[in-house]
Amino acid sequence: KDDLVQKNYKLALQECYVQNTAREYAKIYAAEAEPLEGFGEVPEIIPIFLVHRPANNIPYATVEEELIGEFVKYSVRDGKEVNFLRRDSEAGQKCCTFQHWVYEKTNGSLLVTDLQGVGMKLTDVGIATLAKGYKGFKGNCSISFIEQFRALHQCNKYCEMLGLKSLRSTHQKQRKPTSTKSKTLPNSPTIKKTVPKKAREPRDFISSEH
């Protein structure tokens, strides 16, 4: 079982690493956006912590703040699902602007994706990077998510307030035929979810799909 325990540890550690890295980007985004007149509240990615439970069959897990309320996916992993709450809500628009901001700040090398949560508090996010990574960091999502974001992102008023450049002209220049595979996502744009304030076992370790 040593191999399984080691795999469990690596998956839980990666979950913490990805979410807390995205959290640091969100802090910088907030520092730039909050002073702008009319921008208002900025989404926050909550911290996640690694815990060790020696007596448990799955000894390594993660724990985070309890979120209670309507749980919404504001940006999907591969960009194919149209989420009207994302497009029409303030939180959804600001999440998409955050993605655009990160993409521009990293010169298209990194994208925070799978933004979801309750109101302005987000959790369980993903990061996609180019194959070579970005400044030594490699994400946990496919590079295709970056390509699809570049092709499908529609700027909103918050993108304009931050002075972000439209991706439309850039995509037209770089567009090439691609064939990608992505995971099937829930058809419903919203689900109700309560994240209890207790240990959360890494999904990849306990899921039969991985």
What residue segments make up the domains of the chain, in order of their start? 1-162
> Residue 138: what residue type?
K
Please state, in angstroms and rounded to a whole number, the distance separating the CA atoms of residues 51 and 2.
18
Query: Pick the residue with more confidence: 200 or 209?
Result: 200
* pLDDT tens column, 16-42: 999 999 999 999 999 999 999 999 999
75 confidence band (pLDDT: 50, 70, 90): confident
Residues annotated as catalytic (active site), given as ranges:
114
Lookup: tokens for 190: 């919203």
pTM: 0.77
Beta bridge partners of 61: 51
* Most confident among 48-52, 82-86, 132-136, 169-173 (mean pLDDT): 48-52
Please state, in angstroms and rounded to a whole number, the distance separating the CA atoms of residues 127 and 141.
6
Q: Is the pLDDT of residue 202 over 50?
A: yes
Please state, in angstroms and rounded to a whole number, the distance separating the CA atoms of residues 182 and 81.
11
Average pLDDT over the chain, rounded to whole?
A: 81
129 confidence band (pLDDT: 50, 70, 90): very high
**Among the four given CATH numbers 3.40.225.10, 3.30.420.40, 3.20.200.10, 3.40.50.1580, the one describing domain 1-162:** 3.20.200.10
Beta bridge partners of 181: none
Range name among 30-44, 90-104, 181-195 with the lowest pLDDT average: 181-195
Buried b (16+ CB within 10 A) or exposed e, 40-65: eebbbbbebebeeeeeeebbbbbbbe
Place of tokens 């309507």: 70
Query: Stretch 43-52: mean pLDDT, rounded?
Result: 97
